[in-house]
């Protein structure tokens, strides 16, 4: 189960990277359409505003079709091989899934017309509140009337089709029908079995939806403790990689909140934030409610706290290792400061000092709680200075971004002095403080693109020990024949910030933002790609 969840968490990252970038464009568009920032004359320039409106339309389409993007991403991430076939089959499965649900709902007399608020209030005699609740239960997905399952439906279909794909993509059929064997069999079996999945969800979804909504109501009803609990758990889950799943629950399901935006019910913190940001006149209070689980809670410790921790670790390093440590930690601090990618820093201390790790998790939870208490409204997903600038400073004082900067400044001092005291008091083996026998070879960092793949493959026990190579934002995710055959010192010599042994066959190596290039080089060395 751990291996499955690890792989699922990685699979969810592809659409998130697109959403994060699209959100920045949406934020900049909102700035350029705000007369208080760019002036009334600029806002009234027809050509400029038409271009900005076009950008908003493009991004709105992207956000409106997240379920199928997640379905394809999950299928690609979970498929063992022939990933293009898995993606193609998932599109077919996604359409059939919702067509089946639509047909079943129609048999019960539930259609887009009979769930309309006007119909329910005027023809059925319901109150507006009752009618709105029923209307919010359903959605139109790619023009198909269906349950409002959001990205959950996409993830479910992606998982189901990838399971079929892994089971049957090498199937051999009798000679007479052998043309339909192998990868050609996957779309066929998808057409046959996905409707049964939809039938099961037709009966199960109403109960699952109530459970998800109940969790969301519990968290939102917990006041400021809800964001604290989220921030604390999210950091604690970083070593396992399962924090990605917790993030997606709050960003795209009712766990992260439910709100009415322009007469439409929107669920999930990130969905609500983007829907409000796309309004001509954004509802700032609804936006602030949505951002409780977004970037505002991350900025103090990602942009301010962890770079200060890097300075403390550098100051605590042994003199002979300071040059190496400076190169390692400065790159990690810059990634955290600009984009909110923190794992290269966190893996420098989380395994060698549980005290610092728990402190860090507590400070993360506290950061989310303080942002909620001070009514801060900074959205998006990363938590670096880019999000602070685009979604905080450029949106005006109404976001209370200046309070975030004040909190972050305090975090800088707290992180620096706590890290420095704990490291010196307990002789924590942060980078540059390892015993000489432990640090052997770690001063050698291989940066040559032509050789780093070969060096990593050799450190992993050779290509004969490697089954699968994938990556997410910061981690090289590996399936090996035996984790015991790796050379950890040699892996760290390639510039790795940390190593996580999931089990006897699954390994993760933390490289930070450069992992995409490294994964490609490793695949080339293993002859996995041409």
At residue 500, φ and ψ (nearest 5 deg) are: -125, 120
pLDDT, tens only, 253-296: 888 888 888 777 888 888 899 888 877 777 888 888 889 999 99
- Mean pLDDT lowest for which of 65-74, 152-161, 425-434? 425-434
Q: Is the pLDDT of residue 420 over 90?
A: yes
Using DSSP bridges, classify how beta strands 264-267 and 258-261 pair: parallel, antiparallel or unpaired.
Answer: antiparallel
Residue 88's pLDDT is 95
Q: How far apart are CA 69 and CA 339, in angstroms?
A: 23
Tell me what percent of the residues of the chain surpass a pLDDT of 90.
Answer: 30
Neighbours of 366 (CB within 10 A): 20
Residue 446's pLDDT is 44
Residue 488's pLDDT is 87
Q: How far apart are CA 118 and CA 386, in angstroms?
A: 43
Q: How far apart are CA 303 and CA 271, in angstroms?
A: 24
Between 79 and 46, the more confident residue is 79
Domain boundaries, the chain: 65-220, 293-432, 440-525
Determine contact, residues 449/503, Cβ cutoff 8 Å: no
**For residue 144, is it left (φ>0), alpha (ψ between -120 and 50) or beta?**
beta
Neighbours of 348 (CB within 10 A): 25
Determine contact, residues 359/418, Cβ cutoff 8 Å: yes
Residue 3's pLDDT is 67
Q: Is the pLDDT of residue 363 over 90?
A: yes
Q: How far apart are CA 176 and CA 24, in angstroms?
A: 54
Residue 440's pLDDT is 42
Q: Is the pLDDT of residue 1 over 70?
A: no
Catalytic site positions: 472
pLDDT, tens only, 135-170: 878 888 898 999 988 788 898 999 999 999 999 988
Confidence of residue 441 (pLDDT cuts 50, 70, 90): very low
Using DSSP bridges, classify how beta strands 138-141 and 144-147 pair: parallel, antiparallel or unpaired.
Answer: antiparallel
Residue 419's pLDDT is 96
Q: Is the pLDDT of residue 530 over 50?
A: no
Q: Report helix, strand or coil for 507.
A: strand
pLDDT average, residue stretch 343-352: 83
Nearest C-alpha neighbor of 287 from the set 363, 224, 371: 371
Helices (H), 128-256: 128-135, 150-168, 185-220, 225-236, 243-252
pLDDT, tens only, 169-209: 888 888 888 888 888 899 999 999 999 999 999 999 988 88
Q: Is the pLDDT of residue 68 over 50?
A: yes
To which CATH superfamily is domain 440-525 assigned? Glucose permease domain IIB (3.30.1360.60)
Q: How far apart are CA 300 and CA 483, in angstroms?
A: 37
pLDDT, tens only, 282-337: 788 888 888 999 999 999 999 999 999 999 999 999 888 888 788 888 888 998 99
Confidence of residue 442 (pLDDT cuts 50, 70, 90): very low
Q: Is the pLDDT of residue 112 over 70?
A: yes
Q: Is the pLDDT of residue 109 over 60?
A: yes
Q: Residue 122: which residues within 8 A CB-CB, separation 6 or more?
A: none
Confidence of residue 218 (pLDDT cuts 50, 70, 90): confident
Q: How far apart are CA 137 and CA 133, in angstroms?
A: 7
């Amino acid at each position: 189960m751990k291996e499955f969840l690890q792989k699922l968490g990685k699979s969810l990252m592809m659409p998130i990277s697109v959403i994060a970038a699209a959100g920045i464009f949406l934020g900049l568009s909102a700035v350029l359409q705000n007369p208080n920032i760019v002036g009334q004359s600029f806002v009234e320039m027809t050509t400029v505003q038409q271009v900005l409106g076009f950008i908003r339309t493009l991004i709105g389409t992207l956000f409106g079709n997240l379920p199928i993007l997640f379905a394809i991403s999950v299928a690609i991430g979970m498929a063992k091989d022939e990933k293009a076939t898995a993606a193609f089959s998932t599109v077919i499965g996604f359409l059939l899934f919702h067509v089946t649900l639509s047909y079943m709902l129609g048999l019960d007399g539930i259609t887009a017309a009979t769930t309309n608020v006007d119909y329910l209030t005027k023809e059925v005699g319901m109150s507006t509140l009752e009618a709105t609740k029923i209307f919010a239960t359903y959605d139109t997905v790619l023009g198909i009337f269906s349950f409002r399952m959001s990205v959950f439906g996409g993830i479910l279909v992606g998982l189901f089709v990838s399971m079929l794909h892994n089971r049957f993509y090498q199937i051999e059929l009798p000679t007479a029908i052998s043309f339909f064997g192998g990868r050609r069999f996957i779309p066929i079996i998808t057409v046959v079995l996905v409707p049964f999945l939809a039938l099961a969800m037709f009966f199960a979804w109403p109960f699952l939806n109530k459970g998800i909504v109940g969790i969301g109501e519990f968290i939102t009803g917990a006041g400021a403790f809800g964001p604290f609990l989220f921030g604390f758990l999210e950091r604690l889950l970083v070593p396992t990689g399962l924090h990605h799943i917790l993030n997606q629950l709050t960003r795209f399901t009712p766990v992260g909140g439910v709100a009415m935006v322009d007469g439409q019910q929107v669920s999930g913190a990130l969905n609500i934030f983007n829907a409000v940001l796309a309004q001509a006149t954004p509802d700032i209070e609804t936006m602030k409610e949505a951002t409780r689980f977004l970037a505002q809670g991350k900025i103090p410790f990602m942009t301010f706290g962890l770079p200060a921790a890097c300075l403390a670790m550098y100051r605590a390093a042994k003199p002979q290792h300071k040059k190496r440590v400076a190169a390692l930690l400065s790159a990690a601090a810059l990634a955290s400061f600009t984009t909110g990618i923190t794992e290269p820093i966190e893996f420098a201390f989380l395994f060698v000092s549980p005290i610092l790790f728990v402190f860090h998790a507590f400070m993360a939870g506290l950061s989310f709680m303080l942002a909620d208490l001070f009514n801060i409204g900074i959205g998006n997903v990363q938590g670096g200075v880019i999000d602070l600038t685009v979604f905080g400073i450029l949106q005006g004082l109404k976001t209370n971004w200046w309070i975030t900067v004040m909190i972050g400044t305090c975090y800088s001092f707290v992180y620096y002095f706590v890290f420095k005291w704990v490291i010196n008091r307990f002789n924590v083996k942060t980078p540059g403080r390892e015993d000489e026998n432990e640090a052997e070879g770690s001063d050698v960092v291989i940066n040559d693109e032509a050789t780093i793949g070969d060096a990593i493959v050799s450190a992993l026990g050779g290509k004969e020990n490697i089954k699968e190579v994938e990556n997410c934002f910061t981690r090289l995710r590996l399936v090996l024949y035996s984790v015991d055959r790796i050379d950890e010192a040699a892996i760290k010599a390639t510039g790795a910030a940390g190593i996580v042994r999931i089990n006897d066959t699954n390994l993760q190596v933390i490289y930070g933002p450069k992992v995409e290039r490294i994964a490609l080089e490793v695949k080339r060395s293993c002859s996995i790609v041409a």
